[in-house]
Amino acid sequence: MLGEGIWKWGADIVADIQTWGLPIIPFELVTYLGNETFYFILVPIFFWFVHPSVGIRLLGILLFSSYSNAFFKLIFTEPRPYWVSSEIKGYVFESSYGIPSGHSQNAITIWGYLAYAFRKQGKWIYVAAFLLISLICFSRLVLGVHFPQDIIGGLLLGAACLFVYIRTTDSVLGWFEALPFARKVLYPLGISFVLIGLALALNQFIDHKDPANWETMATMAVGLESADLDKLKDAFDPRSMDIFISISATLAGLGVSLAFLQRKNYFQMERKPLAILGAFLVGFIGIGIFRVVPKLLVDGLFDEVPILLEGVVRYVRYFLIIFWAAYWAPQLFKAFGWARSLESREMAGFLKAG
């Protein structure tokens, strides 16, 4: 841990910002641009309606960034400001460790990658990305959920991830496309289990317990009206494996779906309003079903879901979400006439076209 000295330095800055009287709702909206739910909207839009190669790369950088972020959080096991300072309110409940900031890291990787991908549109794209990244980072301070050092750590790790990703992604996709079909299916599944295993191993190596007052402070300092404190206490689990399972399952689903999609000659959406509207509605209804229904079914069968089963259900949910978005939904789009399969001559280098 970094220690109470640097926590106090950071907490003083956050507490000072919260005395400025800034409106909270706009910053809650800004910080939403770094949430998982928002990315469940953003990535499919790029995959279906802009170009599949951009959507694939966008999801890839999100998974790379999110896994590295969660991994380093477990290495540092640092608190959030409102866990350790009674002067700070947390306007968003967060149960993971603080450093590096996931919102800051994903902001620079996602919006930084999009600025890079669409750099031919002009320099304004970089200015817009910089302003959005800055707002997301600042929102985390206003909402009391990160120290300044968390933000700095997230930006540095995010910049490193973005640099490595841009330099390697074309080679990785080219290697993957050239694999036999069976390996395209088996490798992503195998890698996903390795990633979960690494996270479990790291969790076991943590040789200290978190201070008992962190849970109490994290719950009592939440500045949300009508908050269910008992539920918040139950949700407080900084060492949860949920994020690692979600990321790993999504990676597996992406790889397997691309293997099947390539056999079906990928797809290209029709640029017609009714086709776009139909694909949007059907696509997101499917995502909602696969995100919610499996969990509801299991919760309905058990009064208390066993931890192992909960992890399995989470893996299946996230695998199905991405398999639906990247394979089943495009096949439906083709069946409804909203998209077409590519011809053989259009397949070469398709994933590099974005």
- The residue segments making up the domain with residue 35 are 4-352
**Res 271 pLDDT > 60:** yes
Higher pLDDT: 201 or 233? It is 201
What is the number of domains present in the chain?
A: 1
pLDDT of residue 216: 75
pTM: 0.91
Question: Cα(237)–Cα(297) distance, rounded to whole angstroms?
Answer: 24
The confidence score (pLDDT) of residue 210 equals 80
Mean pLDDT of the chain: 87
Banded pLDDT at 231 (limits 50, 70, 90) = low
